[in-house]
């Protein structure tokens, strides 16, 4: 008989899996006073949800046992269903795109989107197209949902990329995509930005926007060497991206994907020793979600400030080599060779949250399948998703509302690139634009914010004036 804690966890994970919606910040109602209902309330609170009368109701033991606005979960049978469902939960991106359309900012602008192609990315492409842009999408072979690609093509948006391509053929397809000629490039991992420079195709670009931490790292190196020839807005560094996408989105989607894969293999996360490698925003989110599911967390981190933050968040810290034996190791660094061959031998399970190629040093020929998205690495650890990004390989990526915020920043970056004459190099997303997106998101949720009083504003103005004039207090 399944214990109440496992039943509650499975119910929450099924909600997330079948809707691709976020748990944190959402209000849930839980019916019943039995042990499963009690565990549901505890787990939801640990995951950052609110308890009350909301749009989502858990009713353990009833049929249906999950309701949204009083009805069963909506069917997402076809790829078109998934794309349309994503659009229904992206109010902030829709608002920003509507402004672009009204102002005519992107009318006739050629925009290339080079990102993981799934329903939320499809919505970004559709929003830009509907705002007047000429949009083409490219996806790497292991990052393309072919059914979603067909939906976009049926709706008039070209999609380049084929899951069957590899090596020289993949590179040739990416170069052909760039040769279409774009004004702007929206990238994830900076693969296409870098390729444009290598192939001397960057000169025609007015600018680009980069979505990820791992994508900004090589761009910063290019800039330091004077090799970055176009303006690039660092979307990843915007507060409305990193604070939510990395911590809450990647945290939930990766940990739930890991739990789903292990549950299917008869392995639970609860009471599992779990080592999170890297304690940046992704690592913070992974650790928080693993703790909510009942794992015992330790953190391996090379940066002393981040390591101390992990310790103050209540986690044991130490070297990976000492922590890994017998543990579930989750790499959250976005750096190659994080999990080396020695770690792969002594760990119990290994997974990657986020991820770059080679984050796990594994010989693919030594992998032996033992379940869905689960392989044995020789005589060593169980490896989830063959060391790839677990929330993409074994799930549907970050929750819709999270990508709504990230893509609102991407749309804001498009506006900034077209409205400003930026020099070549990396540029931050403007704080005032970030704040505008935050206000729009709060408004879409129906949240009311506090305001400074007249006395507070006067005191702050006086402080700013004295500071500007160099007057000491």
137, containing H or E segment: strand 134-138
Do 345 and 279 lie in a common domain? yes
Q: What is the pLDDT of residue 467?
A: 61
Examine the fold and report which residue of 334, 369, 393 is the final residue of a domain before the chain moves on: 393
- Predicted model pTM: 0.93
317, containing H or E segment: strand 316-317
Residues 6+ apart with CB under 8 A from 271: 294, 295, 296
Calpha distance 120→100 (Å, rounded): 19
pLDDT tens per residue across span 288-314: 999 999 999 999 999 999 999 999 999
CATH number of the domain residue 430 falls in? 3.40.50.1480
Look at residue 265 and tell me if it is in a domain.
yes
With beta carbons less than 8 A apart as the criterion, state whether 370 and 228 touch: no
Number of independent structural domains in the chain: 3
Q: What is the pLDDT of residue 60?
A: 96
Kindly state the tokens that stand for 345.
């031998």
Calpha distance 436→433 (Å, rounded): 5
Look at residue 452 and tell me if it is in a domain.
no
Q: What is the pLDDT of residue 309?
A: 98
Do 176 and 112 lie in a common domain? yes
Look at residue 26 and tell me if it is in a domain.
yes
Look at residue 450 and tell me if it is in a domain.
no
Do 263 and 224 lie in a common domain? no
Q: What is the pLDDT of residue 469?
A: 57
Decide if pLDDT at 125 tops 60.
yes
Examine the fold and report which residue of 46, 72, 98 is the final residue of a domain before the chain moves on: 72
The domain of 277 spans 250-393
Do 265 and 378 lie in a common domain? yes
pLDDT tens per residue across span 385-405: 999 999 999 999 999 999 999
Look at residue 455 and tell me if it is in a domain.
no
Q: How confident is the model at residue 328 (pLDDT cuts 50, 70, 90)?
A: very high
Q: What is the pLDDT of residue 460?
A: 83
Q: What is the pLDDT of residue 472?
A: 52
Out of 257-266, 276-285, 328-337, 444-453, which region has the weakest mean confidence (pLDDT)?
A: 444-453
Q: How confident is the model at residue 458 (pLDDT cuts 50, 70, 90)?
A: confident
Decide if pLDDT at 409 tops 60.
yes
Q: Mean pLDDT for the chain?
A: 95
How much is the average pLDDT of 124-145? 96
Calpha distance 429→239 (Å, rounded): 9
Query: Residue 289: helix, strand or coil by DSSP?
Result: helix
Burial level of 130, CB count in 10 A (0-12/13-18/19+)?
A: middle
Q: What is the pLDDT of residue 121?
A: 98
Lookup result for tokens 């042990």: 35
Decide if pLDDT at 473 tops 60.
no
Look at residue 199 and tell me if it is in a domain.
yes
Do 228 and 162 lie in a common domain? yes
Decide if pLDDT at 463 tops 80.
no
pLDDT tens per residue across span 206-222: 999 999 988 999 999 99
How much is the average pLDDT of 334-338? 92
Do 259 and 375 lie in a common domain? yes
Examine the fold and report which residue of 363, 393, 423 is the final residue of a domain before the chain moves on: 393
DSSP state of 249: I
């Amino acid at each position: 008989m399944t214990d109440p804690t496992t039943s509650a966890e499975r119910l929450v994970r099924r909600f997330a899996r079948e809707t691709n919606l976020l748990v944190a910040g959402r209000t849930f109602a839980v019916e019943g006073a039995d042990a499963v209902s009690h565990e549901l309330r505890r787990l939801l609170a640990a995951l950052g949800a609110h308890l009350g009368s909301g749009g989502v109701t858990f009713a353990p033991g009833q049929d249906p046992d999950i309701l949204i606005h009083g009805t069963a979960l909506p069917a997402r049978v076809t790829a078109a269903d998934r794309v349309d469902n994503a659009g229904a939960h992206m109010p902030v991106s829709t608002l920003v795109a509507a402004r672009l359309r009204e102002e005519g900012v992107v009318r006739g602008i050629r925009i290339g989107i080079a990102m993981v192609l799934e329903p939320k990315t499809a919505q970004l492409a559709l929003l830009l197209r509907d705002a007047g842009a000429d949009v083409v999408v490219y996806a790497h072979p292991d990052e393309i949902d072919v059914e979603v690609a067909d939906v976009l093509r049926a709706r008039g948006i070209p999609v380049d990329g084929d899951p069957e391509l590899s090596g020289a053929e993949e590179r040739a397809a990416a170069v052909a995509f760039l040769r279409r000629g774009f004004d702007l490039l929206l990238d994830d991992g900076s693969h296409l930005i870098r390729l444009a420079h290598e192939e001397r195709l960057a000169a025609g670009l007015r600018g680009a926007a980069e979505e990820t931490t791992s994508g900004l790292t090589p761009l910063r190196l290019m800039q330091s060497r004077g090799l970055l020839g176009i303006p690039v807005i660092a979307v990843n560094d915007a507060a409305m991206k990193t604070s939510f996408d990395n911590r809450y989105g990647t945290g939930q989607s990766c940990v739930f994907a890991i739990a789903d894969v292990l549950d299917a293999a008869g392995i639970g996360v609860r009471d599992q020793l779990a080592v999170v490698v890297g304690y940046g925003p992704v690592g913070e989110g992974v650790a928080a979600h693993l703790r909510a599911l009942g794992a015992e967390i330790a953190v391996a981190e090379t940066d002393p400030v981040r390591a101390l933050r992990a310790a103050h968040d209540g986690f044991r810290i130490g070297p990976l080599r000492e922590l890994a034996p017998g543990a579930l190791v989750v790499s959250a660094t976005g750096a190659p060779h994080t999990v080396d061959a020695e770690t792969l031998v002594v760990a119990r399970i290994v997974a990657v949250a986020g991820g770059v190629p080679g984050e796990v040093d594994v010989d693919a020929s030594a992998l032996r399948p033992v379940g869905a998205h689960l392989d044995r690495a020789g005589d060593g650890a169980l490896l989830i998703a063959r060391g790839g990004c677990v929330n993409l390989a074994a799930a549907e990526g970050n929750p819709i509302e999270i990508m709504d915020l990230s893509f609102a920043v991407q749309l804001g970056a498009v506006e900034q690139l077209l409205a400003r004459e930026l020099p070549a190099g990396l540029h931050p997303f403007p704080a005032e634009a970030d704040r505008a997106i935050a206000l729009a998101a709060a408004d879409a949720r129906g949240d009311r914010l506090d305001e400074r009083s007249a006395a507070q504003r006067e005191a702050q103005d006086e402080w700013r004036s004295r500071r500007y004039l160099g007057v000491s207090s």
